Structure 1
Amino acid sequence: MANAYAVPDGALDAPAETSGSGTLSRVLAEAFGSFVLVLGVLSIGVYSFLNQSGAIGVALTGGLAYAAALIAVGHVSGGWFNPAITLAQAIAGRVRWAEVPLYWIAQLVGGFAAGGLLFGTLPDKLYELLGKEDNYGLYAQGANGWGDFSPLYTLSQGGATFEMLQAGIVELLASAALAGIALAVGTRNRAAMAAAGGFGLAALTVVAYPVTGAGLNPVRSTVAAVFANDWGGVSGQVWLFWVAPLVGAAIAALFAVAFGPQESPEDAAYDESDDADDDVDDDVDDDRTGTADDDDTAAADKKSD
């Protein structure tokens, strides 16, 4: 019995809703999607002092940006935009392992392009008005962390916080859930991808935001950490936001492969195009049958004459 979460080798060369999507097309799609997602999430974080949006604002921005990117290019690359989800898809057999580094590089390039654009457009002297030493301090507001850098620490004015173990567990579980959603939805229906991915990311962000600022994506966390440029503080904690999401996504993928619904090889190979082929074959058979009947009738009439 074939596993329902695995697809045949090379299936990503021609996703169900498009054709001719080679490696370059998929890599560019991942870079674009990562750019849109990171730009949205970091913008709301860096300018949080203006919008006072909190967890709901970050969640809605991230969810909507993710959904929009999925609708735009999800059918080309699969719409991962996240190294952790890419790893889960590779474990599940949907992405060739040789392409995983290319996806990760593309996601990082798109994320850093978004971070650079945002950094380059920050208003002059804004950091002084907010009591920051430089523009890097503005990025620290959107970085992920624990301890003194946990949002709870700020919200409680130092009265309470989450430590490393708690932060790691929350990031691991939330990332596992996000990867599980991506594995379950698949890539055939862009509307379903956008709805499940967007709502899923938004809901998980609300849960994780008070703990760590809701990383859930190593690219988003890395870009914020680099531009925050505080390696003795919040930037130095970025390693956890790689380890926890990757481990969580891997666990989700292993569960999907081990306990997912099973189907026969014939069912696994089924494609919507088969229906079209069957319809064409039926039409051809009907035409042939009709032609043969007409010939027999003509021959009978001629004989009777």
Structure 2
Amino acid sequence: MKKLFAEFFGTFWLVFGGCGSAIFASQIAPSDSGQIGILLIGVSLAFGLTVLTMAYAVGHISGGHFNPAVTLGLLAGGKHSVKEVIPYIVAQCIGAIGAAGALYIINGGTGGNDYGAFATNFYDHAVYFGKSYSMNAAFLTEFLLTMFFLIIIMGATDKLANGKFAGIAIGLGLTLIHLISIPITNTSVNPARSLSQAIFVGGPAIYQLWLFWVAPISGAVVGGIIYKFLLQTNLKEA
């Protein structure tokens, strides 16, 4: 139960801090390109910092997944138990929905009607930037970034790596991921985070939700397999 509570609180913090920064900062930032650039950097850092802080706060309890795709990717990479997969994912989704509910209340009981207004994920729609990206572009983006996120996680937490800095590497990795993909999909790489925001926005956010489960999970599984079979060094080889 301590592991599940750790995943619940860690995912709650990720959604509340990361999505909260996107929701409230966008309400005060003017629409000129300079301020949008500042918003992009700020939100990216917020997501990275939530993972970094919780990795050190509760990572030693549950492993600090806070993301169904990470849990399944670590399973594929041989770093997680099958019997814990469903409980972890349930705890993550409940934590994410709880955080989105708190944001919904703080936001005056509204999720907004525009894409991105409640930090939802999307494709074929532009929010802060002038260009919209297709479903295929969105899928490939989420797939590749989650794949590399798993490689970062598995490499940073490897027995041969310096574990003291794992949280920093993972947090900065997530920051970089957001810098790349906020203009494309508003960045998911986390199905629980996408689910939680879509519930309170509804409409297209719900029917596009499939992509933000399938693409991150597929990418994470491939990333876990790549690290396990192509990159991981056992102690005898070292």
What is aligned with 2:32?
Answer: none
What is aligned with 1:288?
Answer: none
What is aligned with 1:50?
Answer: 28
Change (3 A) 1:135 1:82: closer
Deviation for aligned residue 1:261: 3.5
Q: 1:251 aligns with which of 213, 216, 222?
A: 222
Task: Give distance in 1, aligned partners of 2:158 and 2:54.
Answer: 13
CA contact (8 A) 1:208 1:214 kept: yes
Task: Give distance in 2, aligned partners of 1:197 and 1:89.
Answer: 14
Q: How many residues align?
A: 227
The amino acid across from 1:144 in the alignment is N
Task: Give distance in 2, aligned partners of 1:96 and 1:247.
Answer: 18
Deviation for aligned residue 1:138: 7.2
Structure whose CA Rg is larger: 1
The answer as to 2:190 corresponding to 1:214 is no
Change (3 A) 1:32 1:187: farther
**Any gaps of 5 or more consecutive residues in structure 1?**
1-23, 125-133, 269-305
The answer as to 2:43 corresponding to 1:70 is no
Task: Give distance in 2, aligned partners of 1:209 and 1:253.
Answer: 24
CA contact (8 A) 1:33 1:79 kept: yes
* Residue-by-residue CA offset, 1:131-164 (whole Å, 9 max, x unaligned): xxx544378511000112x43xx522xxx31000
CA contact (8 A) 1:35 1:110 kept: yes
**Any gaps of 5 or more consecutive residues in structure 2?**
30-34
CA contact (8 A) 1:181 1:200 kept: yes
Structure 1: which 4+ aligned runs deviate by more than 4 Å?
Answer: 187-190
What is aligned with 2:177?
Answer: 204
Task: Give distance in 2, aligned partners of 1:108 and 1:264.
Answer: 36
RMSD: 2.1
Q: 2:76 aligns with which of 91, 96, 118?
A: 91
* Residue-by-residue CA offset, 1:180-225 (whole Å, 9 max, x unaligned): 1111111776641221111000001110111000111111111111
TM-score (ref. length: structure 2): 0.88
Bigger RCO of structures 1 and 2 (CA < 8 A, at least 6 apart): 2
Give the share of equivalent positions with the same residue, in percent. 31
